[in-house]
């Protein structure tokens, strides 16, 4: 069996994708940047072939993908603030183009590209409109808040362009994965960690679609096996307000959930000040302004298409939150 190349295998979602592939008997080759944290791979004993490369280095990608039958492009520069925003576009947009071009030249049989729910259109709530987005909801780059979302939107367009050009590419749009092995952690995992550390005295009125990271990884493999080239599939589970997420964390841990709701204007001012200070010091902001802008819109979607076409059956969000709590508590 030809090896399967997984980018981002040292990260949260990529680690779980690699694990699912190994469980299904696929030989996995992990693309790792020089200096990447690999303790997650080592501690879990994931038996993967490791190759060093960089999305911005086309030659390294050609070497990495050589002889592979499948490609899961999970890696991304996932920062809501960067000293030089151009770095996000170099990795996420041009890096995706470099990798898919290398895959096309190598004759890769199937590609799964990991996009984000941020690239899904969210309709305004109104008469006859639930405010729940799906793969067909109109969306444009003007709807993208911040450089991370804009870079991922453009990268998704690159993936779909390759699909139209004949490379079998399936796009998945994970929502807010939660669970174990969130080493960095991700912004969603940081909500759990901040709650556990007592660092969340207030909350804002926003909403996420929460999904178990293990289900998201399974969804990637289902997309590879059953997805249609050139199609997008939302991998999500439950639409929850941030207040509801905090209440569930309180139930799991026996701690109190914050009850003070912060007005958006106050959060926005905090984001402006925090981000401006980061621009002076070079230290990432505690409250990135782009994160505040994103929070203004409830990212609520439906995964019905993935359920119908892929057989995607995610579990309840409470299980994912409980697993995240257990893992962060052990890792502390």
Higher per-residue confidence, 80 vs 110: 110
What is the pLDDT confidence band of residue 292, given thresholds at 50, 70 and 90? confident
Report the mean per-residue pLDDT for the chain: 92
Long-range contacts, stretch 88-94, CB < 8 angstroms, 24+ apart: 88/147, 88/148, 88/151, 89/147, 89/151, 89/154, 90/56, 91/55, 91/56, 91/151, 92/148, 92/151, 92/152, 92/154, 92/155, 93/151, 93/154, 93/155, 93/158, 94/55, 94/56
CA distance 85 to 324: 30
Q: Poorest-confidence range of 43-57, 79-93, 268-282, 299-313? A: 43-57
Residue 255: phi and psi, rounded to 5, are -95, 170
Q: Answer yes or no: is 273 within a domain.
A: no
Q: Is the pLDDT of residue 127 over 60?
A: no
Q: What is the pLDDT of residues 32-63, one digit of tens each?
A: 988 776 655 655 567 889 999 999 999 999 99
Give yes or no for residue 287 having a pLDDT over 70. yes
189, part of any domain: no
Higher per-residue pLDDT: 80 or 107: 107
Task: Kindly state whether residue 58 falls inside one of the protein's structural domains.
Answer: yes
- 103, 170 Cβ separation under 8 angstroms: no
CA–CA gap between residue 226 and residue 283 (Å, rounded): 43
| Element containing residue 99 per DSSP (H, E) | helix 95-106
- Residue 45 pLDDT: 63
What is the residue range of 93's domain?
4-181+210-237+300-317
| 188: in domain | no
Measure CA 232 to chain center.
14
The values of phi and psi at residue 205, to 5°, are -80, 90
Bridge partners (DSSP) listed for residue 112 = 72, 170
pLDDT of residue 200: 87
CB 32 within 8 A of CB 52: yes
Please spell the DSSP secondary structure of 203-271, one letter per residue.
E-S-EEEEEEHHHHHHHHHHHHHHPPTT-EEEE--EEEEHHHHHHHHHHHHSPPPP-EEPPHHHHHHHH
29 three-state secondary structure: strand
The answer as to whether 249 is a domain residue is no
In a domain, 217, yes or no: yes
Whether the pLDDT of residue 128 is over 70: the answer is no
Confidence (pLDDT) at 291: 87
Number of independent structural domains in the chain: 1
What is the CB neighbour count within 10 angstroms for residue 151?
26
Position 130 scores a pLDDT of 63
Q: In this structure, is residue 200 part of a structural domain?
A: no
Kindly tell me if the per-residue pLDDT of 138 is higher than 80: yes
Provide, rounded to the nearest whole percent, the portion of the chain with pLDDT above 90: 76
Query: Per the omega criterion (within 30 degrees of 0), is the bond before 35 cis?
Result: no
Check pLDDT > 60 for residue 328: yes
CATH code (residue 174): 3.40.50.720
216 located within any domain: yes
The Cα 298–Cα 94 span in angstroms is 29
Q: Distance of CA 128 to CAs 123, 125, 131, 296, 302, Å?
A: 11, 8, 9, 22, 16
CB atoms within 10 A of CB 45: 7
- How confident is the model at residue 264, as a pLDDT? 87
pLDDT at site 140: 95
Can you say whether the dihedral through the CA atoms of 148, 10, 94, 213 is positive or negative? negative
Residue 137 has pLDDT above 90, yes or no: yes
Torsion angle of alpha carbons 159, 121, 293, 280, nearest 10°? 10
Please check whether residue 237 is in contact with residue 199, taking contact to mean a CB–CB distance below 8 angstroms: no
């Amino acid at each position: 069996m030809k090896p399967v190349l997984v980018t981002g295998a040292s990260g949260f979602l990529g680690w779980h994708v690699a694990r699912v592939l190994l469980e299904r008997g696929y030989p996995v080759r992990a693309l790792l940047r020089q200096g990447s944290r690999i303790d997650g791979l080592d501690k879990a004993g994931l038996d993967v072939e490791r190759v060093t490369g960089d999305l911005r280095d086309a030659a390294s990608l050609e070497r990495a993908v050589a002889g592979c039958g499948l490609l899961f492009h999970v890696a991304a520069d996932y920062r809501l603030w960067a000293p030089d925003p151009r770095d996000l576009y170099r990795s996420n947009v041009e890096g995706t183009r470099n990798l898919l071009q290398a895959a096309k030249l190598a004759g890769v049989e199937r590609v799964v590209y990991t996009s984000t729910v941020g690239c899904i259109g969210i309709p305004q709530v109104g008469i006859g409109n639930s405010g729940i987005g799906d793969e067909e909801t109109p969306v444009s780059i003007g709807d993208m808040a911040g450089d991370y979302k804009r870079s991922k939107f453009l990268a998704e367009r690159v993936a779909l362009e390759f699909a139209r050009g004949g490379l079998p590419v399936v796009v998945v749009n994970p929502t807010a994965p939660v669970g174990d092995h969130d080493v960095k952690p991700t912004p969603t995992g940081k909500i759990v960690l901040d709650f556990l550390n007592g660092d969340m005295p207030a909350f804002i009125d926003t909403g996420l679609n929460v999904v178990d990271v293990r289900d998201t990884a399974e969804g990637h493999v289902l997309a590879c096996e059953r997805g249609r080239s050139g199609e997008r599939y939302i991998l999500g589970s439950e639409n929850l307000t941030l207040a509801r997420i905090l209440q569930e964390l309180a139930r799991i841990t026996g701690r109190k959930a914050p009850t003070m709701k912060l007005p958006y204007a106050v959060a926005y001012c905090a984001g402006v000040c925090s981000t401006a200070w980061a621009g002076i010091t070079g230290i990432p902001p505690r409250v990135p302004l782009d994160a505040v802008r994103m929070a203004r819109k409830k990212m609520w979607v439906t995964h019905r298409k993935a359920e119908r076409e892929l057989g995607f059956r995610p579990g309840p969000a409470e299980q994912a939150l409980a697993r995240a709590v257990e893992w962060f508590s052990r890792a502390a």
